[in-house]
Amino acid sequence: MKTVRFLTVFSLLLLCFVVSASAQRSKRPAPRPTPTPAKPYINPVISVAKMQVENQLFNVNLFVDRLGPIAIIIENADKEAAAGRLRNELKAANETNKQKTIAAIRAMRDPLVALETDFRTKSVLTQYLPQIQGISTLFAQAEDKAIAGQFVAAKDPLRQVALRLNDTLAVLPGPAIGGTSPPARNRTVPANTPVRNVATSPSTSTTKREPAIGMTTAEVLQSAWGAPNAKRNSTVNTEVWMYSGNRSLYFFKGKLTNIVK
């Protein structure tokens, strides 16, 4: 009787051991979580500089766009005055517009001088200095031309400033910050900058828009300018579309960042 009882207990223990061993063999290890790839480190000084370059590119483009028609009006008034066909009150108004425009150019230059100084003096930015170097000198040239009464010609150095800012933006690492239209708090175009009179601005088409900063390449193709006569790559991620009449459009990562007319 004792033998039967012993065998029964032994059988139960053996069965438990087999079940336990089987369970251990069939138990699968918990899957390891897939590691999330680490984001590349971007020095915060470079990130801030990229945001500032992007903001100033927007500001310069907007300034040149506003300056264009005002410069023509000022110089036409000068011609009328030289021919004796302009009343004294209009002469005085034109002189006031000249001084306001010169002051606006000077005010635009100050933050760009500070920006170029950062690239010249901060060690992490000096490698990108060749792209941005000279923007303060170009703005000084624009101011000198305006003082000399050459307001239309003053736009040429400003366009060169926009090109250098665009090239600088292309080589700075990291994602674009805020697109091509910075928030209103970052727009530093002076309040006394001449504003375009939309009612009298010429338009090449009544149904199609003119190219505008921030457009994609597809949107530009549907604009009044349409397809370009030629294309070329300026720098990495920067493409230039060339049109007749020395007109050019500059794209950074597929977004329109500069317009040269």
108 within domain boundaries? yes
122 within domain boundaries? yes
Query: Does 257 lie in the same domain as 167?
Result: no
Overall number of domains in the chain: 2
pLDDT value of residue 66: 87
Residue span of the structural domain in which 84 resides? 44-179
Query: Does 215 lie in the same domain as 169?
Result: no
pLDDT value of residue 8: 55
Question: What are the helix (H) ranges across the chain?
Answer: 2-26, 44-82, 88-121, 129-132, 135-147, 155-171, 217-221
2 within domain boundaries? no
Coil, strand or helix: which one is 110? helix
- Ramachandran assignment for 246, one of left (phi > 0), alpha (psi -120 to 50 degrees), beta (any other): left
Query: Does 162 lie in the same domain as 84?
Result: yes
Query: Does 221 lie in the same domain as 135?
Result: no
* C-alpha pair distances (Å), 234 with each of 50, 127, 202, 225, 240: 19, 19, 30, 20, 6
Distance CA(216)–CA(234), nearest Å, equals 17
Query: Does 168 lie in the same domain as 79?
Result: yes
CATH number at residue 155: 1.20.120
Distance CA(257)–CA(168), nearest Å, equals 12
pLDDT value of residue 236: 64
Query: Does 48 lie in the same domain as 175?
Result: yes
Query: Does 224 lie in the same domain as 170?
Result: no
Distance CA(71)–CA(224), nearest Å, equals 24
Q: Answer yes or no: are the C-beta atoms of 95 and 81 closer than 8 Å.
A: no
75 within domain boundaries? yes
225 within domain boundaries? yes
pLDDT value of residue 29: 64
Query: Does 161 lie in the same domain as 48?
Result: yes
Query: What is the per-residue pLDDT across 100-146, written as a single tens digit (0 to 9) for each?
Result: 999 999 888 888 989 999 999 999 999 999 999 999 899 889 989 99
The alpha carbon of 6 is separated from its chain's Cα centroid by a whole number of angstroms, namely 87
For residue 253, the surrounding DSSP H or E stretch is none
pLDDT value of residue 101: 92
Long-range contacts of 123-128 (CB under 8 A, 24+ apart): 124/43, 124/45, 124/46, 125/45, 125/46, 125/49, 128/49, 128/168, 128/171, 128/172
Query: Does 139 lie in the same domain as 54?
Result: yes
192 within domain boundaries? no
125 within domain boundaries? yes
Query: Does 114 lie in the same domain as 240?
Result: no
pLDDT by residue for the chain (261 residues), tens only, comes to 545 454 454 454 444 544 454 555 555 666 677 766 666 777 888 888 898 999 999 989 888 888 888 999 999 998 988 888 888 889 899 999 999 999 999 888 888 989 999 999 999 999 999 999 999 899 889 989 999 999 999 999 999 999 999 999 888 887 654 444 444 344 444 444 443 333 333 434 446 788 888 888 888 888 888 888 888 876 667 788 888 877 888 888 888 888 887
